[in-house]
Amino acid sequence: MNSALSIIQKVGAFEFTRSDVSGMSEPDQYFQYADLLPKVQHAVHFLEPYAPKKGLWKSLREGTRVEMTEQELLKRKANFDVVDPLVEDFERLQVEFAEVNEKLRVLEDEHALLKAWKVLPIKLSQLETSQTKTFLVQRLISLDKKSLKQVLETKLQETLSEYLITEVSATSVALTVSNENQARSTAVTLVNELGAEIILPPKGKENPEIEFTAVSEKLASVKGELAMLHDQTEHFSITHLSQLQITGELLVWQRERFMAVENGFATKYTVAFDGWLNKNKRQAIEELFHAKGLAAMFIELQPLEGEDPPVDIENHPLFKPFEAVTRLYGMPGHKDLDPTAYLAGFFFLFFGLSLTDVGYGLFLMTAAIIVITLFKVDDAIKLFAKLLFLVGLATVFVGAAFGGYLGIAPENLPSFLISLQKFDPIGNPLPVFYLALSLGVFQVMVGMLLKIYSEYKNGRFMNGLIVQGPWFLVFCLGILALLTNLGYVAIIPFDAIINLIYAAAVLVVLSGARNGKGIFGKVMSAAASLYDSIGYFSDILSYSRLLALGLATTALAFAVNLIAGMVVDVPYVGYILAGIILIIGHTFNLAVNTLGAFIHSARLQFVEFFGKFVAGTGREFRPLSRTSKYIIVKGE
């Protein structure tokens, strides 16, 4: 069974659920390293701060995880017991740490107390004699700009005839009174009335200055012991931390398998598990079962009524980087379409329209290539780098069409770059505005078609056609009317198109009315369906933000260059100042507008596009799989 679970965990394609099979008992399995795992994890947590620090560049180039083959993993698993002595050595080291730290804490407290009373000219052994009692009195602040001695002396004159006040500071004194009960009680009461406090005297027999010197020597000695322990811990970390990290991760894998066993039920000869399987990986698991000679099989069951399967999304490598956008929104419902492939082209284009600068696009592409080719980072980071490369490429294409080259004026560009420019967002922004709205109309219409397709896949084609079809027809006729009015097409007379739009509006009303109950309900549903036109109009206007973001990027780039040009003639330092302004200004513009391009392009997908056909209520698929905090398995 453990071999089968190891294969399932390696492939990472099965999410276990609690089985409910009658007549079966739970398997007699237990995690034999239940005591060792937390000890190893604690040791790793304690030792990691002592590990040699790698520079950022070295960490990115070499990675922070150990690459291992399956054969090396098997050897490590077979030698779990060799970690026991290491854990015992670590625990002894930690006990020494605790003891030395406690000694250090006590000595530091004594040191601070003796330092505060260092100038007291009285031996600590003479603070209490058969004839006198000396109290160490302290107050945090002086009273009415008078020292504690002055205030205390004024009060003592009224109550005690014999006393001695030795001033240590404006807020600290030694008060010596008779060792009789009445005198001591009177002194304590008076001190409390003044809001001062009597503190416990430092330990020792000599005067505080001598004791302070002695404690300082002890403190230095203990600090030396602690430094030696830190050196031992650093050496221990260098020597054994990697082994403990790898062992800890392997133990976590095994613990996860045993947690899965708790969800199963067993007979004398078999174990049954219930759960969700990624069907695309079933063949890979079964082939590994066969190669290992395991008698294991999958039996397909239909989901129970009301049971929602978890959702996993898999896309073509070209579209896979855009899964990051989909996952930000949330998983689609199990009956929804995976929107990743459909949003990819729109997000690609919208990001470019929001950034609109070839220089910035090339920078994003270069950064992405460096991460993908030179750095050893998580797969998720590499996937995001691929997305960054794609949107950088989009920015280059759009930037060339918009004449955006780090804010350089078009007349200063080479002629072949000028020939590529098709839009002037600063001088003539209206065409860009019309382009943004046109893209909005197109994406909204695609969303309608995807809703119809989604309903078709779920056996509700007529419902999708009746709800979305009339609106789609309205949009098509509206586009035809606009093109006819502008003279681009002449298929149908303009008046006839208007009449068809009225007819399509009637279909919209009838489609909305069918959901109402009773005459009044149908009227209200019909009115609500017409009200949807405001929502569509609002959605389309939202795409104007593409123009605003593109203009902001271009305008800020021009402004940075303008400011740099104003200081370049400053004597001696003009070029230096101009260079600083250019670097800081363009870096700021790139950072802010890249973030804005990502956020607003994603928002257009989430609100204006996904809302048409994605419920976003799916639960993410969480299969039994290997963690990869410290280990990368070669060949996976």
304 and 185 part of one domain:
no
Digit-coded pLDDT (tens) for 332-358: 988 889 999 999 999 999 999 999 999
pLDDT at 510: 78
Contact indicator for 511, 463 with CB cutoff of 8 Å? no
168 and 282 part of one domain:
no
344 and 385 part of one domain:
yes
The mean of the pLDDT values for the chain is 88
pLDDT at 33: 85
Digit-coded pLDDT (tens) for 112-164: 999 999 999 999 999 999 899 999 999 877 656 678 888 888 888 888 888 89
- Report residue 453 as tokens: 């397709």
Number of domains in the chain: 3
Digit-coded pLDDT (tens) for 359-415: 999 999 999 999 999 998 888 899 999 999 999 999 999 999 999 999 998 888 898
Low-confidence stretches of the chain (pLDDT beneath 50): 22-25
Q: For residue 468, which of 429, 518, 504, 432 has the smallest C-alpha distance? A: 504
Domain hosting 156: range is 128-200
Q: How far apart are the C-alpha atoms of 244 and 235, rounded to whole Å?
A: 14
Asked if the structure places residue 102 within a domain, the reply is: no
Asked if the structure places residue 97 within a domain, the reply is: no
pLDDT at 23: 43
275 three-state secondary structure:
strand
176 and 281 part of one domain:
no
pLDDT at 636: 55
Q: How far apart are the C-alpha atoms of 10 and 4, rounded to whole Å?
A: 10
294 and 357 part of one domain:
no
pLDDT at 431: 92
pLDDT at 518: 66
Q: Which residue has the tokens 């990869």?
A: 628
In the listed set 253, 280, 310, which residue is the last one of a domain according to the structure?
310
pLDDT at 144: 60
Helices 358-374 and 340-355 sit at what angle, rounded to 10 degrees?
130
Query: How far from the centroid of its chain's Cα atoms is residue 66's Cα?
Result: 23
Q: How far apart are the C-alpha atoms of 351 and 602, rounded to whole Å?
A: 9
Residue type, 368: A
433 and 564 part of one domain:
yes
In the listed set 171, 200, 229, which residue is the last one of a domain according to the structure?
200
367 and 293 part of one domain:
no
Query: How far from the centroid of its chain's Cα atoms is residue 209's Cα?
Result: 54
Show the CA angle centred on residue 583, arms to residues 579 and 589, nearest 5°: 140
Q: How far apart are the C-alpha atoms of 471 and 532, rounded to whole Å?
A: 10
Asked if the structure places residue 158 within a domain, the reply is: yes
Q: How far apart are the C-alpha atoms of 627 and 610, rounded to whole Å?
A: 32
Count the neighbouring beta carbons within 10 Å of the beta carbon of residue 82. Answer: 11
- We report the CATH number of the domain holding residue 182 as 3.30.70.2750
Asked if the structure places residue 82 within a domain, the reply is: no
Q: For residue 360, which of 544, 549, 543 has the smallest C-alpha distance? A: 549
Residue type, 550: G
Asked if the structure places residue 67 within a domain, the reply is: no
Predicted model pTM: 0.82
293 and 345 part of one domain:
no
Asked if the structure places residue 502 within a domain, the reply is: yes
Asked if the structure places residue 213 within a domain, the reply is: no
pLDDT at 531: 67
Digit-coded pLDDT (tens) for 162-197: 889 999 988 899 999 999 898 899 999 988 888 889
296 and 335 part of one domain:
no
177 and 274 part of one domain:
no
Asked if the structure places residue 42 within a domain, the reply is: no
548 and 488 part of one domain:
yes
pLDDT at 488: 86
21 and 137 part of one domain:
no
In the listed set 170, 200, 230, which residue is the last one of a domain according to the structure?
200
pLDDT at 22: 45
Show the CA angle centred on residue 350, arms to residues 344 and 352, nearest 5°: 105
